[in-house]
Structure 1
């Protein structure tokens, strides 16, 4: 009996004209969207799984075969005047590489799905920017998903780096501003203290002068 995850994803794909997926396909989709409870998937996980399998169905499988190359070494025998096949060596090089090729739309869909799975949303411009930095050909879907996830994380790291640099710059500006204001305040306090001392000196001198004047008048009256 199929689980709710598989049934819901299959039904959604069928409505959109996508069929022919295997049990392994649904399992890989569940792993890709991190759905641990197949009988209790979220709507977001179901949507991401549908996008994942749509990309998988539209991606092209390219097989690159290298032709067989045969190399024969021909030598000459000293005792015979005619050329004769003396030594032959057959080298066979055959390599088959299975890879997937994804379109720009595939990349945008997976970037959107993976960013949602990571817990945040990207703007359309951010999605396009990340997708442009993702290659078109991969060994398998696992590598494709891993590459997209790494590209998203790298983009987020760059954003945080900008924010952190802004904090550091603003903090330095604030420290310089506080230091400047403190210096100006200290200067004003010093100036005020100097003015007070000068005023007190004048006051003391005036008091002494007044005292001498009073004493002089008293002496004259006697």
Structure 2
């Protein structure tokens, strides 16, 4: 993976791990497929992929585009039967939608997702050999299949360019340690300059300072001095 200039982005071992990994490498594409600007949720993603496959299967055979691209695709072993060779078309759509059942296949899900999302998807298997799906001119993304993931880590992992990962780990120049004056993320500022003299004509005079009378509104709050 280092030769590809990539670093892993681990997925939590909870929920639909494969859908989470797909969303991690294609947040914009998945959100656009679901009809909004945020990354699609697992159920949103699977429903949209299943709907796209079902819509393609309703077309006349000569007009189908998605089904021919994935129906003859084999799994990573190469000698395995085509991913969509067993079961009815309805069973395969249902398995894609739910991610469960005897017809469910991670590899078929990846193949459909690659074509629907416009990705050139490469999976680096546990032994390091690649498996690819999707259009040749699709945006390249890479997933990892882990044989022995760490605690709380899913078997599927996303990746990101190593340069982007290093940049993300660097502290922002605008964020520093808490300053001594109680501020957060700021550097102690310099002392303010002394106040400038007021401009001429605003009550200034060259005469020496003389005390001015104090003015009180209402009764004088100070005790009156005793009469002589």
User: TM-score, normalization: structure 2?
Assistant: 0.28
Which structure is richer in relative contact order (CA contacts within 8 A, separation 6 or more)?
2
Greater C-alpha radius of gyration? 1
TM-score (norm 1): 0.29
Structure (1/2) with the larger helix percentage: 1
